[in-house]
Amino acid sequence: MALDFDRSIIGSEFDRTVFAPVTKDAIQEYAAASGEPGANEVTAPPTFVVRLRGHRWMPENMPNLGRVGFDAGKDIEFGVPVRVGDVLTAVSTVHDIYEKTGRTGSMVFVVLRTVVTNQREDEVAVIDQKMMFR
């Protein structure tokens, strides 16, 4: 029998956060901390988007998938660059939940997708955060 949970959670939005305008200081702090400079002092390095923290990082109605969970990595598809003054919006949804088996037994993966856009509604990044539960 396939993994049993209410599939209506797939595609459901669980967070929408509008961030304060991006500052030059924030870009410089990120560049210094990550060692990844942007194209210039008013353009953030592409991975700047990983510093964004929404109000909620998991849905409230998340099914019980196991006792232990850990970060299983993230994929980021980059869009337009982030510049000083941009107002970024991050919208997070449950993109997928699936089960697989490996050498150590069965695992459930949750993929949380966050789409980041700017004030012009240009796509800045699509971030797929994977969590593994067992």
**Could you list the residues that contact another protein (CB under 8 A)?**
1-3, 96, 98-106, 109
Cβ neighbours around 54 below 10 Å, total? 17
- What letter would DSSP give residue 104? T
In single-letter form, the type of residue at position 32 comes to: A
Which residue's CB is nearer to another protein, number 26 or number 132? 132
Nearest to 16 by CA among 57, 49, 64, 51: 57
Quick one: which of 80, 78, 87, 82 has its CA closest to 43? 82
Compute the least distance from the CB of residue 59 to another protein, in Å: 20
Query: Smallest distance, Å, CB 103 to another protein?
Result: 5
User: Residue 74 CB, nearest distance to another protein (Å)?
Assistant: 13
Would you call 92 helix, strand, or coil by DSSP? strand
DSSP three-state, residue 6:
coil
Considering the complex, what minimum distance in angstroms separates the CB of residue 34 from another protein? 22
